């Protein structure tokens, strides 16, 4: 494992460059495409190294996993695909247990969910450095410098819902939940519904009883369209880097109390 991590560190700059430009468990899966050296040339430390790459089970994560796989394969590694693992905790356990060697993880997830901290750090650089240092000390987990994008959580609504309610912030959403829960039907996925950096923590921060909120549990991919339609979901949980926000003309509610952590992806 130490050899693999040293090899990954040797090519980390290359991987980050590819990432920026590219804007269950079954061991030993084949890569989705065959990759040869090109802009990425062989790295001696990676030649023949057996590396298993993992990811969570949503589009951005699978894409990031493929980027790692293609970069490592072009650099000479013997890469095995283990992307599309269901849930953050399962992915983390797979890495701690040695079933996967490398994945993209989010700084906020590491800080809150894996390390058990309750208060996020607003500055993204300070947040990364804190999770990097603590995870290395406690678990021997190595974090490579993060990408600049912030894939944080948000609540969204349709343009029509925004105009009808006049709501622009999560504080106003909380007032609506307290005043008229039936008018604030909110669709969330299973993980967000129970995570402390998700709905329960948001409710505590903004002062409403999550038990009063009219919630529906849906698959992530369904929430966006259902929120845009505005019938089943007046509000919906979204990831801020998801292209469907623009495509469906969804309106994000401002996190005016800065509850949600920064979620910069970094190779671990």
Question: What whole-number percentage of the chain has pLDDT above 90?
Answer: 82
pLDDT per residue over 27-45, tens digit each?
557 677 777 788 899 999 9
127, 150, 173 - which closes a domain:
150
Q: Which domain holds residue 63?
A: 2-150
**Averaged pLDDT of the chain:** 90
Which CATH number belongs to the domain containing residue 180 in this structure?
3.40.190.120
Asked if residue 96 and residue 27 are part of one domain, the reply reads yes
User: Does the structure show a pLDDT above 80 at 84?
Assistant: yes
Give the per-residue pLDDT at 28: 53
CB 245 within 8 A of CB 252: yes
For residue 3, pLDDT over 50 is answered with: no
Instruction: Decide: helix, strand or coil at residue 52.
Output: strand
Overall average pLDDT of the 246-255 stretch: 98
Is pLDDT of 244 > 60?
Answer: yes
Q: Are 173 and 213 members of one domain? A: yes
Helix (H, G, I), strand (E, B) or coil at 50: strand
Do 95 and 226 share a domain, yes or no? no
- How many domains is the chain partitioned into structurally? 2
What pLDDT, on a 0 to 100 scale, did the predictor assign at position 22?
Answer: 36
222 and 143 assigned to the same domain: no
Verify that 51 and 120 share a domain, yes or no: yes
Residues 134 and 196 in one domain: no
d(CA 11, CA 14): 5
Based on the fold, state whether residues 36 and 162 are members of the same structural domain: no
Beta bridge partners of 153: 239
> Model-level pTM greater than 0.95?
no
Whether 185 and 123 share a structural domain? no
- Using alpha carbons, select from 138, 136, 150, 65 the residue that is nearest to residue 100: 65
Buried b (16+ CB within 10 A) or exposed e, 20-47: eeeeebeeebebeeebeeeebeebebbe
Distance CA 135, CA 114 (A): 9
């Amino acid at each position: 494992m130490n050899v693999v991590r040293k090899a990954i560190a040797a090519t980390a700059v290359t991987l980050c460059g590819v990432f920026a430009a590219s804007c269950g468990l079954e061991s030993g899966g084949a890569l989705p495409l065959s990759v040869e050296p090109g802009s990425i040339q062989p790295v001696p430390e990676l030649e023949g190294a057996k590396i298993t790459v993992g990811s969570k089970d949503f589009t951005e994560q699978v894409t990031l996993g493929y980027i790692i796989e293609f970069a490592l394969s072009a650099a000479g590694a013997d890469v095995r695909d283990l992307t599309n693992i269901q849930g953050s905790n399962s992915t983390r356990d797979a890495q701690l247990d040695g079933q996967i060697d490398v994945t993209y993880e989010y700084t906020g997830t590491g800080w809150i969910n894996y390390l058990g901290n309750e208060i996020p750090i607003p500055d993204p650089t300070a947040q990364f450095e804190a999770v990097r240092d603590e995870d290395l000390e406690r678990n021997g987990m190595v974090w490579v410098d993060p990408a600049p994008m912030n894939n944080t959580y948000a609540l969204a609504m349709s343009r029509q819902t925004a105009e009808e309610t006049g709501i622009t912030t999560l504080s106003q959403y909380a007032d609506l939940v307290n005043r008229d829960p039936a008018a604030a039907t909110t669709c969330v996925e299973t993980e967000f519904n129970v995570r402390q950096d998700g709905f329960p923590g948001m409710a505590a921060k903004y002062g409403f009883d999550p038990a009063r909120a009219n919630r529906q549990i849906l698959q992530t991919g369904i929430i966006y369209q259902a929120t845009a339609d505005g019938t089943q979901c007046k509000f919906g949980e979204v990831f801020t880097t998801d292209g469907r926000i623009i495509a469906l003309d969804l309106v994000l509610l401002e996190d005016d109390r800065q509850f949600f952590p920064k979620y910069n992806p970094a190779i671990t």
